[in-house]
Structure 1
């Protein structure tokens, strides 16, 4: 559950930054694709040179690449005031098409080779010694997966306890009021979108480096939209998004290990495979509680216009 939820947590946290600043980011899926693609290609290319630190360096490079890629969405939706949903969808199509074209060009086949330099699995000190729960939740996992949970609390602190977080929230709720107080709305929104790109790239890189171990057309298969749903399910709150992502991670894990569990083994496998996407639809339709988006979400800001 934690391994599958971690990429969703990272990406959902990125979505919080973008949408709290007032920019809809449907392109999280495409940004995850770029992150996964760059992380795997970098790992395969530099594994012999960098050795054991290769996976860590690869996710940093993936974050930078996705952040740069997200600039296209920022320029289109903030500077040129294009429809933010259309821009996000274009990012998704472009990311998939470009990455698969490059894979075919480099490897002359539909997917990359499998990476050999992997993250080391660890038992968390102290926590793994807790009876029953320690073995279930804190043993045989990845540092990078547990880091996602820690990072959710860090993002909560940044969003709600720092001047930068206040600016992010203010331009997403009432950009004109923020502008009159001297906040540069355009700059803050650019920063929100670029941070979301970095987090989504991190999410894609972690998924590819810990779960699939290669890159193909199915490496990122709806996880970006699950992360978007987790963000909405969590009411645009970092900790709420983390909880929703853990819930979706559990649903995904059931589709993998459900056949070996007493209650779920009698359920046809196809239903367990459908479950994560069904829960995503339920969350996006607002069935589970009312979720009020930031008031200026999706509205381009034109300075001086009332």
Structure 2
């Protein structure tokens, strides 16, 4: 581990010396570090997806996962010149990430802070960026053991099994809000982008077949809910492993518009930012005890339409005001109607 970190600090310094380095210039070094840390710790099937973003919205910069279904966590990186991570902790951007994702690292490439369920549980500085900047040389390596412990904690994370409708609704609601506000709304605003064109196509289809007076803001909401609720409905039909890519197989052939949505999400090339958060929602559902949750509704006399009853539970958590209005302008009830 010591040699790996010394090599990492040397690479950071070489990039810094170029004089024109941006935050993204350092991504390759962190990518390599994470992969090699996993290898040293004999953790198999670790993949790192880098997600450069144009704005402060969207997903964190890195997703660490197994390349298939299991998501370990996320890493948000800041330029090495950002030495006050206390300030970053208080920004709306990081607060959104910590409220949505349970296993997150914040770093400026020299200092690493690990958050679990929104709380900082570990931090370590492996070198002083001020030395690299002023002396143009790699800083002395510090705190090797603490760095290893932090990444041990990061890699050891796995989602707890969700066993109640209420807890599932909470986990789905916070990710659906993120999907609506930080992904769909952002992609819709990117005029000319591939993601914009794809989503505008669905917006027009929803207006034509579901709600003729739909606005783009309302569409972002209804589309986010439709994705989450469609995933939930698909999960109730699935046995064994469940993922974004498998979801399409469990959407009934009779629900044309929903199959179109999931053909795009599961089988086609959706915007990467959309894939990332939908993968996260799908993993929550993968570890959920769907049979136990459905049985809960049967036990309380709501077994006739458990999907509808779960929608009520979800909506009360996702946006209580929407639940009060209950108009089709504000909820995907037409889609829920299709599902059931």
TM-score w.r.t. length of structure 2: 0.23
Rg larger in structure: 2
Q: RCO (CA 8 Å, sep 6+): is it higher in 1 or 2?
A: 1
Going by fraction, where is helix more abundant, 1 or 2?
1
Going by fraction, where is strand more abundant, 1 or 2?
2
